[in-house]
Chains A and B, each alone.
Chain A
């Protein structure tokens, strides 16, 4: 056993509300783990704690052997991340976004230029590298974000609903890159998604979280056997139920709405 992420008795409370309730799990080096759960189950909160963006209330997290609370800089160097919502600077070009990331992660100039070229070619954006990102489509932005997350050669790649809102062609393409990275570089992949067929196809192992607790984890075949169902989607619904979850709109969601209504500044 060779765990690259180990989470022990992790709890996160916002005031009286417990978002993540005493969970423990491990991710093996080089595996692809799908972290599934209904809206508001605690997926994003867990990812935020794993990536040092939120302090933990109780418990401990080791990422690549470093503690997220006491060694945040070492942890941050160990992973790349693609967030649920875009995190590019729209006014900068693709190349400048990559350059910015490389400098922020302390990648030396020569190496940085080599890797940026390699990665932009990998995600087929090299020809349009000098265009401002605001001209890019949703799929192109996602590809750029994945490429950006890899400049500093992370050991782990976090993907929070990476394929949300993309067409099937782009989704297939993205997973091809990701699986290739996993195979060729032994990169550990930790992702969340609401598309069960994606998780079934790509992941080596599944963990399902609901109401802040991990209710089950294992291989897809094991989950199907456990629930006596034919597909992961059926297994998922059987485990977490059919009712729709409410998730209060955060200030950030409202702001995003306002942006849609008013258009660009």
Chain B
């Protein structure tokens, strides 16, 4: 237990101390909110979709969580390079505990980043219709954080250097983001695209988050929650197993 806690604490300290990373990570969501939010706003409204900022905000929150969480998981590669990974692997602590502490720490960081972006959304003009569902919104934010940190960890367990990083960004993270319903509604899509979105875990996260913050849902809370919990447990098991296979 102590090991999980200190690993979690370490991830938080690292996040808190790299202020440039913290603020840098806010640039992207702000750009998306301002450029897309106000750029597409008029068209979206004419098409009868209502306020685009209100539609977009949960998507942008999910986006910032996705990027922070994935990066937090992939950071293992840096630990490997700086040698700190070895220090943890020779300790009399099970690898499952190390992986769990790391993942919880990374997820907490991504979650906090999501909260900050939520506040920025409110500043820019996003309105939450009902505060009763706020706990549900926070729950979905945390599940997205947890899933994608574990996902990043699982991927990074199989990589020895950063060479594959652009590959992961362009062929995994970007498609996950664009096909999640963060930017446009998932209804009335061409059927091939629709099928793909159904296999995207983030689509359920965005859907649940949007619903909880007062927007229109596609899948419904129950389904969103079940899918996210299931894939999170699955990835924790797979990632945990891959982490035990790491050799340094």
Contact of B78 among A53, A81, A105, A265 (CB under 8 A): A265
Chain B positions within 8 Å of A54 at CB level: 247
Chain B residues lying within 8 Å of A91, measured Cβ to Cβ, are 13-14, 17-18
Q: How far is the CA of A73 from the CA of B89 in the complex (A)?
A: 11
Stretch of B80-88, B150-158, B169-177 that contacts chain A: B80-88
Q: Tell me, rounded to whole Å, the shortest Cβ–Cβ distance linking B24 to chain A.
A: 11
In the complex, A225 has a CB within 8 A of chain B: no
Contact among B86, B92, B162, B247 with A255 in the assembled complex (CB-CB below 8 Å): B162
Instruction: Report chain B residues within 8 Å CB of A100.
Output: 6, 10
Does B3 lie within 8 Å of A103, measured CB to CB?
Answer: yes
Q: Decide yes or no whether B248 CB sits under 8 A from chain A.
A: yes
Q: Is B47 an interface residue (CB 8 A)?
A: no
Identity of the chain A residue whose Cβ is nearest the Cβ of B85 in the assembled complex: A87
Bound-state CA distance A106–B94 (Å) is: 13
- Asked if A77 is at the interface (CB within 8 A of a chain B CB), the reply is yes
Q: Given the interface contacts A103-B6, A106-B2, A255-B160, does A89 sit within 8 Å of B90 by beta carbon?
A: no
Q: A76-B90, A91-B18, A106-B2 are in contact. Are A251 and B10 (CB under 8 A)?
A: no
In the complex, the chain B residue whose C-beta lies closest to that of A85 is B83
| B167 lies within 8 A of chain A by Cβ | no
Residue B238 CB within 8 A of the other chain: no
Contacts of B84 in A (CB 8 A): 87-89
Q: Given A100-B6, A255-B81, does the pair A51, B90 have CB atoms closer than 8 Å? A: yes
Kindly state whether residue A238 has any CB partner on chain B within 8 Å.
no
B92 proximity list for chain A (CB < 8 A): 72-74, 76-77, 104-106
Give the number of residues in A that approach B within 8 Å (Cβ atoms): 37
Q: Does A52 contact B (CB under 8 A)?
A: yes
Q: Give the distance to chain B from A265, nearest Cβ to Cβ, in Å.
A: 7
* Residue among A51, A52, A104, A252 facing the most chain B CB atoms (10 A cut-off): A104
Question: In the complex the two chains form, is B248's CB within 8 Å of A104's CB?
Answer: no
* Inter-chain contact A87/B93, CB cutoff 8 Å: no
Near B by CB (< 8 A), chain A positions 49-74 give 51-54, 72-74
A101 within 8 A of B: yes
Residue picked from A96, A101, A103, A254, most chain B C-beta under 10 Å: A103
* Given known contacts A53-B89, A89-B10, A91-B17, A103 and B2 CB-to-CB distance under 8 angstroms: yes
Contact present for A251 and B6 (CB under 8 Å): no
Q: Nearest chain B CB to A57's CB is how many angstroms away?
A: 13
Please tell me if A256 contacts chain B, counting CB pairs below 8 Å. Answer: yes
> B123 interface residue, CB < 8 Å from A?
no
Interchain CB contact under 8 A, A83 and B86: yes
How far does the alpha carbon of A101 sit from the alpha carbon of B6 in the complex, in Å?
9
Residues of A within 8 A of B93 (CB): 104
**Interchain CB contact under 8 A, B6 and A89:** no
Mask of B124-168 contacts with A, CB within 8 angstroms, 1/0? 000000000000000000000000000000000000111000000
How many Å lie between the Cα of A256 and that of B2 in the bound state? 32
- Write the nearest CB–CB distance from B101 to chain A, whole angstroms: 10
Using CB atoms, name the residue of chain A closest to B17: A91
Across the interface, do B87 and A90 meet the contact criterion of CB distance under 8 Å? no
Known: A104-B93, A255-B162. A86 touches B82 (CB 8 A): yes
Q: Are A88 and B83 in contact (CB under 8 A)?
A: yes
| A228 at the B interface (CB under 8 A) | no
CB distance from B31 to the nearest CB of A (A): 22
CB-CB nearest in chain A for B86: A87
**Does B91 belong to the interface (CB within 8 Å)?**
yes
Does A259 belong to the interface (CB within 8 Å)?
yes
Q: In the complex the two chains form, what is the Cα distance from A204 to B80 in whole Å? A: 34
Docked Cα-Cα span, A88 to B176, in Å, equals 34
Residue of B nearest to A132 (CB): B17
Q: Which residues of chain B have a CB within 8 Å of any CB of chain A?
A: 2-3, 5-6, 10, 13-14, 17-18, 78, 80-84, 86-93, 160-162, 247-248
Q: Could you jot down 28 A-B contacts, CB within 8 Å?
A: A48-B248, A52-B90, A53-B86, A53-B90, A74-B92, A76-B90, A76-B92, A85-B83, A87-B82, A87-B87, A88-B83, A89-B82, A89-B84, A90-B82, A91-B13, A91-B18, A103-B2, A104-B88, A104-B91, A104-B92, A106-B2, A251-B160, A251-B161, A252-B160, A256-B81, A258-B161, A259-B81, A265-B78
Instruction: Please name the 8 residue pairs, one residue from A and one from B, whose CB atoms are nearest each other, closest first.
Output: A87-B83, A76-B92, A251-B160, A104-B91, A103-B6, A87-B87, A255-B161, A73-B92
